[in-house]
Amino acid sequence: MGLVVQKYGGSSVADAEGIKRVAKRIVDAKKDGHQVVVVVSAMGDTTDELIDLAEQVSPIPAGREFDMLLTAGERISMALLAMAIKNLGHEAQSFTGSQAGVITDSVHNKARIIDVTPGRIRTALDEGNIAIVAGFQGVSQDKKDITTLGRGGSDTTAVALAAALDAEVCEIYTDVDGVFTADPRVVPKARKIDWISFEDMLELASSGSKVLLHRCVEYARRYNIPIHVRSSFSGLRGTWVSNEPQGDQQMEHAIISGVAHDVSEAKITVVGVPDKPGEAAAIFRAIADADINLDMIVQNVSAATTALTDISFTLPKTDGARAIEELERAKDRIGFESLRYDDQIGKISLVGAGMKTNPGVTASFFEALTDAGVNIELISTSEIRISVVTRADDVTEAVRAVHSRFGLDSDTDEAVVYGGTGR
């Protein structure tokens, strides 16, 4: 039995009862013979309450002091969790991000992990303790200031510790049973995925799946740490994310992993761009300088009769206004005609490593959308993903149609059959 890293989110430790339930689960893993390292988030609404307090004393809370404030949240949950474990007769010690050796850069509120030096964790484990580590936080390499890792930071803490400690698996406990073939709120027939490759999971994460963040999966892939996403409420086996399926996971391997959707983006179309070298670069430089991440980018084929073209791209709605502002400012320099902004779009993505060698997949995908009467506005593909942009109103129907077409619905087993036909 090796070392296991378990991560529990805020909803799993929302109150004293939740903490006691989680403590029991941790002790069970210890009793199974594992060395156990636990990464924990702040309790339930703690972080929101702290942010609220900060806004009451200052309209612009950010930076170093904001990190110092927020990290109080995990300090509370981890100490309580250690107490609850001791109360069950097992030894536990809690560690801040700094004590656990989570070394980051100095970018407050969204620091990146530079190194993990978990000497104290290793000692605590060797002495027979369960180690509880504060998620989401670290200490900056140069100034020794407390930092936070930004959104989804606790998952990243867990994977980084698992890598540094050479763990067997990083278990991410959450309030759903695992990763599904589609969002179960949109597709009631969505099935839990037993195993998915890092690559497919990365595509799902960047296509709108919320269960794991791209950053965390990327870290796990780099260090080859298997992730097991599962529910802290049910105790059922969840979804394994790893390089290769193991044991009976093999049987479940389909060519399509799932369908993701995303309605958090907007589309900007730059109309009437001179069709000559350097124009697109100038547009995207203006956006990049404002620190805005673009998603899909499409340039229309120029009509032969004109020297102008249109460039469309999608980006988070929250960055929309700022992007328009930046482009307007650069309008004369770039020389386009006008901008169109559309925040009523949705994106549907089909993800699966199997599609590389199955040329029929793309055709089936578009047939499904056509049959459902869904109009396509943009298309973008990778080796293992097809994404389209549609009207936001069409997303639910489009996801269901594609999910069903590729045999992912839970009352069929076509997923496997489909892979077998080589269609």
Q: Check the annotation: does 356 bind a ligand.
A: no
**For residue 244, what is the DSSP state?**
S
The answer to the question of residue 56 lying near its own copies (CB under 8 A) is yes
Per-residue string for binding with its own copies, 9-48, x by CB under 8 A? Answer: -------x--xx--x-------------------------
Using the contact rule CB under 8 A, the part of the chain among 74-82, 268-276, 311-319, 371-379 near its own copies is 74-82
270 known member of a binding site:
no
Is 133 in contact with 161 (CB distance < 8 Å)? yes
Q: Would you say 211 is a known binding-site residue?
A: yes
User: Measuring CA to CA, how many Å separate 423 from each of 42, 176, 331, 354?
Assistant: 48, 33, 48, 11
Instruction: Tell me the C-alpha distance between 188 and 209, whole Å.
Output: 16
Out of 59, 89, 247, 277, which residue is the one contacting its own copies (CB under 8 A)?
Answer: 59
User: Which segments within 141-238 are labelled E, that is strand?
Assistant: 146-148, 169-174, 195-197, 227-231
Residue recorded with tokens 């930076």: 63
Which of 28, 32, 53, 393 binds its own copies (CB under 8 A)? It is: 53
Nearer to its own copies, 46 or 390 (CB): 46
d(CA 318, CA 310): 23
Q: Whose Cβ is closer to its own copies: residue 134's or residue 217's?
A: 134
The secondary structure of residue 356, as a DSSP letter, is G
Q: Which is nearer to its own copies, 94 or 257 (CB)?
A: 94
Angle formed by the axes of helices 320-329 and 279-289, nearest 10° = 130
Binding residue per annotation — 175?
yes
The answer to whether residues 275 and 309 touch, using CB atoms and an 8 Å cutoff, is yes
Residue 117 labelled as part of a binding site: no
Q: 47 among the known binding-site residues?
A: yes
Q: How far apart are CA 265 and CA 81, in angstroms?
A: 38
Is residue 323 close enough to count as binding its own copies by CB under 8 A?
no
Binding residues for its own copies, how many (CB under 8 A)? 40
In this chain, which stretch among 32-40, 90-98, 160-168, 180-188 interacts with its own copies, using CB under 8 A?
A: 90-98
Minimum distance between the CB of residue 17 and its own copies, rounded to whole angstroms?
8
**Least CB distance from residue 413 to its own copies, whole Å?**
45
308 contributes a contact to its own copies by CB under 8 A: no
How far CA 144 is from CA of 99, 102, 261, in Å, comes to: 11, 11, 40
**Alpha carbon distances (Å) from 4 to 97, 177, 369:** 18, 19, 43
User: What does the chain come to in residues?
Assistant: 423
| 46 is known to lie in a ligand binding site | no
* 138 is known to lie in a ligand binding site: no
Closest CB to its own copies among residues 91, 325: 91
Beta carbon nearer to its own copies, 94 or 312: 94
Candidates 26, 38, 92, 196: give the one binding its own copies (CB under 8 A).
92
The answer to whether 287 contacts its own copies (rule: CB under 8 A) is: no
Check residue 132 and report its DSSP letter: E
CB of 59 to its own copies, least distance (A): 7
Tell which positions 142-161 bind its own copies, by CB under 8 A.
144, 146
Q: Which long-range contacts (CB under 8 A, 24 or more apart) does 119-126 make?
A: 120/95, 121/37, 121/95, 121/161, 121/165, 122/165, 124/93, 124/95, 125/3, 125/35, 125/37
Site of interaction with its own copies (CB under 8 A): 16, 19-20, 23, 50, 53-54, 56-61, 64-66, 68-69, 71-73, 75-76, 78-84, 86-87, 92-94, 96, 99, 120, 144, 146
Could you list the residues known to form a binding site for substrate, using ranges: 47, 74
Binding residues for ATP: 7-10, 174-175, 185, 210-211
